[in-house]
Amino acid sequence: MKFFRSVGEVFGYSPFRSLAQHARMCCWAVGLLEQQFEALRKGKYDEVEKLRDEIDDLEHHADQIKEEIRGRVTKSLMLPVDRHDLLEFLKVQDEIINNCEHVGHMVTFRKVQAPEDVWDEFSVLLSKLMEILNYYEDMVENITQLIETSFSKKAVNKALEHVPIIEQLEHECDLIQIGLHTRLFNLENAKPLDIHLMVTWVVHLGYVANAAARASDRFRIMILGR
Amino acid sequence: MDLFIITAAIVGFYVAWNIGANDAANSMATSYGSRALTLKQIIIIAAVLEFAGATLFGKKVTHTIAKGIVPIELLDHNLVVYGALAALLSAGIWITISTYYHLPISTTHSIVGAMLGFGLAAVSQNHLTIEQIKWDVLVKIALSWVVSPLFGATLAFIVFSLIRFILLDRYSSESVEHVFRYLQVLTACYMAFAHGSNDVANATGPVAAILGYSGTVPFWVLFFGGIGIATGIATWGYRVIETVGKQITELTFTRGFSAEFATATTVFLASYLGMPVSTTHTLVGSVIGVGLAGGLASVNLRIVQKIIFSWIVTIPVAAAMTISIYTIMVVFI
């Protein structure tokens, strides 16, 4: 349509739906990781590789969303939150899915042998991560409600009560990691390379939890920093 | 002479049609963007209330455009016909060009610039002295163009902040929005009425001057302008409303209400004072006001630059075009 004048342009690009979508993808990636460790334990290596590719695709898609937000949140937009806070939050949130991708690849490097109780511990660690990400996703989903109520006290409190829970869960995750490290370094009859690789997994799974905790902190800074 | 009157009627109708098709449509698009009304309902409300605003309250601004800028009572009537027709033509041409290029210009600015061009042309031919152009009125008009978006912004900021602190902080946003859906129907009517009362003058002002304006605007001139605007909405405006409405995605009823209430009040006040202001620019100001109150997910401030640029361009272009057309008419007719 050619002949028209419009003031619709005054309504700028809103990044908030995309931010929530990016958070959902982070959560989804951790779910895939959990499945991947299950497959690994059962020795279903084809499935492990298939899941790695799925996580890869997801990460790639999340990257596109991140790029879109970064490209469109320009200085001429007036947002209800600080632009730098928003971009910093996105950056840390993106580390969640980046680290998921790293772990997704690392588990395919080598077919490791480990006793059942080690796999159990990994299961515990992964379900704790899943719990963190479920809370995390819930928290970020609040953003639409926050905007609708234009950051009413009630909505802000409801969103931010997730933050201490996530921090607590991250601490619990640390404890599981410590236990797992101790167990791995004391494995008898295990190949040193297997131990080394499994330790690397634990470290990077820790990064996932850590990124989620830091992102929730950045989320709080963004919400309170208006 | 009859030929001039027929031409003036046609061009005047075209300008009124364009005001309906674009300006009225833009001011109604917020109601469509928030989905407070269906497209059909908006067309009916806009056509009826724009018409009502134009016929009932269009007098004062028409007076300002017709003789507030150029003292037409001091000029030979033939010259007034040439000048006002040249102004109407050049405003019509400029509006068409900028509409084609999607420039957010204002019909009001075009016609004021064009009337100024007419005055300057009369001065250049020594029919008037430069002091006889009513600069004090022009300064007031120019001031109103700056004040109206700022006033809209302030009012929208206050209205939305009140909604926010009194209602959104206490009740669930769903129930608050639900109530404002109905209130936004009222502000949509208010908006159409206010817009009609102000913008009709862009078409009827020069037409009234051509018909030998003495101080009272004949009712049928406003009627003619009102019909033109209503026709514009019905034949083209609905497409503009749809296009603009699609760009407005994150607007809820409380925000739409605040922006519309602020804009309509500002424009209506301007009509009362006889000041020709731009409704769309006031609406942009009001939307920014809602944004400043934390009501919107995102406001694109780049449009402010575009609007300021369009002010700077519209006045000299419309004036220069009028001087050219006027000169051609005087020389060849």
Distance CA A129, CA A34 (A): 9
Q: What is the pLDDT of residue A134?
A: 97
User: Is the CB of B247 less than 8 angstroms away from the CB of A8?
Assistant: yes
Which residue in A3, A11, A156 has the most chain B C-beta atoms within 10 A of its own C-beta, making it the best mutation to test that interface?
A11
Whole-angstrom CA distances from B99 to A4, A106, B54, B91, B95 are 5, 58, 23, 12, 6
Distance CA B274, CA B198 (A): 8
Whole-angstrom CA distances from A134 to A139, A209, A214, B83 are 9, 12, 15, 71
User: Is the CB of A14 less than 8 angstroms away from the CB of B297?
Assistant: yes
Contacts of B224 (CB under 8 A, 6+ apart): B9, B12, B13, B16, B204, B207
Correct CATH for A13-224 of 3.40.50.1820, 1.10.390.10, 3.20.20.100, 1.20.58.220: 1.20.58.220
Distance CA B87, CA B323 (A): 8
Contacts of A71 (CB under 8 A, 6+ apart): none
pLDDT per position as a tens digit, B18-58: 999 999 999 999 999 889 999 999 999 999 999 999 999 99
Q: Report CA dihedral (A55, A59, A62, A66) to the nearest 10 degrees.
A: 160
| B288: chain A residues, CB-CB within 8 Å | 10, 78
User: Is the CB of A11 less than 8 angstroms away from the CB of B293?
Assistant: no
Mean pLDDT of all residues belonging to chain B? 93
Task: With a cut of 70, say whether residue B1 has pLDDT above it.
Answer: no
User: Is the CB of A8 less than 8 angstroms away from the CB of B294?
Assistant: no
Query: So where are chain A's domains?
Result: 13-224
pLDDT per position as a tens digit, B208-230: 999 988 778 889 999 999 999 99
- Sign of the torsion formed by the C-alpha atoms of B86, B92, B95 and B99: negative
Query: So where are chain B's domains?
Result: 2-332
Least confident of A36-40, B5-9, B150-154, B276-280: B5-9
Of B98, B250, B292, the CB nearest to A5: B98
pLDDT per position as a tens digit, B234-257: 999 999 999 888 888 778 999 999
Task: With a cut of 80, say whether residue A195 has pLDDT above it.
Answer: yes
The alpha carbons of chain B give a radius of gyration, in whole angstroms, of: 20
Of B105, B169, B248, the CB nearest to A5: B105
User: Is the CB of A78 less than 8 angstroms away from the CB of B168?
Assistant: no
pTM for this one?
Answer: 0.92
Distance from CA of B302 to the nearest CA of A (A): 6
Residue whose C-alpha is closest to residue B139's, from B205, B69, B209, B203: B69
Is B237's Cβ below 8 Å from some Cβ in A? Answer: no
Q: What is the pLDDT of residue B217?
A: 87
Which residue in B280, B296, B304 has the most chain A C-beta atoms within 10 A of its own C-beta, making it the best mutation to test that interface?
B296
Tell me the two tokens of residue B13: 């109708």
User: Is the CB of B164 less than 8 angstroms away from the CB of A150?
Assistant: yes
| A2: chain B residues, CB-CB within 8 Å | 100
Distance from CA of A223 to the nearest CA of B (A): 12
In chain A, % helix, strand, coil (3-state, to 5) comes to 80, 0, 20
Task: With a cut of 90, say whether residue A4 has pLDDT above it.
Answer: no
Of A3, A8, A155, the CB nearest to B29: A8
User: Is the CB of B295 less than 8 angstroms away from the CB of A150?
Assistant: yes
Distance CA B275, CA A196 (A): 79
ipTM: 0.87
C-beta separation of B263 from B286 below 8 A: yes
Pairing of β A77-78 and β B299-300: antiparallel
User: Is the CB of A8 less than 8 angstroms away from the CB of B33?
Assistant: yes
Q: What is the pLDDT of residue A2?
A: 65
